[in-house]
A = this chain, B = another copy of it.
Amino acid sequence: MRRINVTIWNEFVHEKEDRIRKIYPDGIHGAIAQMLGRDKKYNIRIATLEMEEHGLTEDVLNATDVLIWWGHCAHSEVSDEVATRVRNRVLGGMGLIVLHSGHRSKPFVMLMGMDCRLKWRENDEKERIWVIEPAHPIARNLPEYIELPMEETYGEKFDVPTPDELVFISWFSGGDVFRSGCCYKRGNGKIFYFRPGHEEYPTFYREDISQVIKNAVDWAAPTNGPISTVGHWEALEKVEDKFAGRPDSERLHTYITK
């Protein structure tokens, strides 16, 4: 089976605090990599904000099939150059999984063309993620709903384009709903936004959450579709030259509008 090259990009700032390090001693990326990496099909590389070019050089991105992105408090520290590079690689075919607060990341905001804001609160609320599209490959092997005892609450209206496909809708005990699993196709690439993943909860160690991430990686992996030619393009059919030899003025005034 062909292996899938996954790069997990994590801001890796919160986990420098003791209280968060206790939950994610290897960083959020460490938890995701540990769970996903149990299947040897995934070739996993890590990249973080503090690395040179944030670990996302041309070579790394060109070798990446699917990029997973977690960021929160340092979106603005990601260079425009690297963000644009990610955006262009997605349009060229690389998959992108955007987790939780990554909704405000530069690459996601660029690709959505909107501010991607939402309502939020940190209130230890229960989140219940309902599967809305059971025929979708991202719903593979999932139950009807996933219950997270505690998560950060997000609320609508999530300021993004209408998803091409809506896989999950979440319920929060505080009274909100949220479109928590959103698929987009952009150019040759596939993007999946998945809501859970606040740094204060061990969400990424969960089997069910890891199943979603694995399914999303499988779905978002490049599918080798045609790269579209753009620009001047010759006709494939022979078209009669109606004005051969006649003056330009005739061409420009040749039909009368009703």
Q: A residues engaging B (CB < 8 A)?
A: 1, 19, 22-23, 91, 93, 110-115, 117-121, 123-125, 128, 130-137, 139-144, 147, 149-150, 153, 155-157, 159, 161-162, 164-166, 169-177, 179, 184-190, 200-202, 205-208, 223-237, 239, 241-243, 248-249, 251-255, 257-258
Contact = CB atoms under 8 A, between A and B. Distances in A.
A234 B155 CA distance: 10
A236 B142 contact: no
A237 B153 CA distance: 12
Contacts of A235: 121, 123, 125, 153, 173-176
A166 B162 contact: yes
Given A23-B252, A171-B177, A236-B174, A134 B225 contact: yes
Contacts of A162: 133, 164-166, 185
22 contacts: A19-B248, A19-B252, A117-B231, A119-B228, A119-B232, A124-B242, A125-B235, A131-B225, A134-B225, A135-B188, A135-B225, A136-B223, A150-B242, A156-B169, A157-B228, A162-B165, A169-B177, A171-B175, A174-B237, A175-B235, A176-B233, A176-B236
Contact of A233 (B113, B120, B161, B252): B120
A115 B57 CA distance: 22
Given A228-B159, A243-B124, A248-B19, A173 B135 contact: no
Given A124-B243, A156-B169, A136 B255 contact: no
